[in-house]
Structure 1
Amino acid sequence: MAYDLEEQEKIDALKAWWDRHGTLSTAIVLAVAIGLAGWRGWQWYETHTAGQAMGYYEALESAAGQSGDDAVARIKAASTALRTDYATSGYTARGILLAASALEQRNDLEGARDQLEWLARDASDPALQAVARLRLAGVLLSLQQYDAALDQLKGTPPVGFAALYHDRRGDVLAAQGQRDQAMEAWRQALDSLGGDPAAQVVQLKIDALNGA
């Protein structure tokens, strides 16, 4: 087909533009397409991963409501899978706390300790770490590992946990026979609690120790 001079100039200009920018334009389009595919793939992966983590959490939850050695084995297996393969999932921290509670109820204190040590070390949420350390101190108290329990409670208590940390420290010190230090820790707990009804429980501990 023959083109007039004006049309030919437009065609030549388009060819010249393509020679200069065609490769870059193709690369940009390709990058956008790959980025979109990657984003969709990541969405699928996140959804798929969350679904698998939820499955392990539900299996753990089911096993926690049952009794026997088989239930304990399934609790630990589900917990291990969550910790190993889905450490950043929102289901994992919940699962670890549930596993620790279930094992502690079955008097498997070393098993509960293992769960809580992982959470205290690896949880990305400071509040979850604070809960894990508090509960771990309680497990260590039950194991009569008093110095290790106090290590979990040392330093300034996390925000919102002052009363709980002081109270647990008092429990550990009392178990060690350090009466004065225990009283001081419980008084600090009372100061943090203010008019909270839980203060009555701490006061009972003080009264009991005073009467001993």
Structure 2
Amino acid sequence: MATQLDLQEQEQLDALKSFWKKQGNLITWTLVLVLGGFAAWNGWNFWQRDQGVKAGAMFEELDRAAAAGDAEKTARVFADMRQRFPKAPITQQGGLTAAKVQVDKGQSDAAKASLTWVAENGVEDEMRTIARLRLAAVLADAKQFDEGLKVLDAATAPEFTALVADRRGDLFMAQGKKAEARTAWQAAYAAMDPKLDYRRLVEAKLGSIGAAPGAAPAAAASAASGASK
């Protein structure tokens, strides 16, 4: 009996050796790839967290400089963030913050550069659109209206459709293009949530050019009432 069991074990061992000889390399490399991928995934997550913490610390420094009105330091910190953490969302927020300080200090060219970087390198469409809205305003102040309109053409985040149309209307009006401004403001008014207070401002803009929402129907009703008397 013992001899029979020994023979069976030997046959099983020989079969295992044969299988491993044929499939051993494939199994080994599969394990290496799986374990390597798992290690790489953990490493990537750790690196991402580490980068986020470091970028966050730099943003706090930038924010303090911005609160103090120190445009030069704000710009330096943003330039460092831009170089070290270009894909971190907080770096794009740093660009918007830096641009605000630069505008406040009358550094329009620096503000344009900061906002252009965010508009071109922002990770999310929403952040790129916000940068373009602000850049269009800076260009409008510099009377670069056509450039501002081109910037708005690329502002495509759906959440900001109304604000983009409103800003476009402002640029058209500054150029004296009343019909185009009316069309843009009407689009902004239609797209904006009625609960937003800002919608009243758009309505006032339309009213200033005789195109207040509901004005035409009200006038027609008044004329009809007068004719019936």
* TM category, shorter: 0.7 to 0.9
Aligned to 1:56: 58
Could you state the TM-score of these two structures normalised by the residue count of structure 2?
A: 0.76
**How large is the RMSD of aligned CA atoms in angstroms?**
2.7
| Greater displacement, 31-40 / 183-192 | 183-192
Following TM superposition, by how much is the alpha carbon of 1:141 offset from its aligned partner in structure 2, in angstroms? 0.8
| 2:101 aligned partner | 102
The equivalent residue for 2:67 is 65
Superposed CA deviations along residues 160-212 of structure 1, whole A, max 9, x for unmatched, are: 333322322232223223344334433433333474432332343345566xx
In structure 2, the CA distance between the partners of 1:131 and 1:76, relative to structure 1 (3 Å rule), is: same
Contact kept, 8 Å, 2:71 with 2:98, in 1: the verdict is no
Quick one: structure 1 residues 156 and 132, their matched pair in 2 at CA, closer, same or farther if it must change by over 3 Å?
closer
SS at match of 1:97: helix
Quote the residue 2:37 is aligned against: 35
Matching of residues 1-212 of structure 1 within 5 Å: 4-67=6-69, 71-154=70-153, 158-193=157-192, 195=194, 196-208=196-208
Instruction: Output the CA distance in 1 between the equivalents of 2:10 and 2:199.
Output: 91
Offset of residue 64 of structure 1? 0.7
Flag structure 2 segments of 5+ consecutive residues without an equivalent. Answer: 211-229
Q: 1:54 to 1:21 in 2, by over 3 A?
A: same
Provide, for residues 52-80 of structure 1, a one-character-per-residue CA deviation record: whole Å limited to 9, x for no partner.
2112211211111113xxx3222112222
Output the CA distance in 2 between the equivalents of 1:127 and 1:164: 12
Q: Percent identity?
A: 31
Deviates more, 1:178-187 or 1:77-86: 178-187
Distance 1:14 1:48 in 2: 46
Distance (Å, rounded) in 1 between the aligned partners of 2:93 and 2:104: 17
Distance 2:193 2:12 in 1: 83
Separation of aligned partners in 2, 1:51 and 1:159: 30
Distance 1:8 1:208, change over 3 A: closer
Q: Against the structure 1 CA distance between its residues 209 and 37, is the aligned structure 2 distance closer, same or farther, given a 3 Å change threshold? A: same
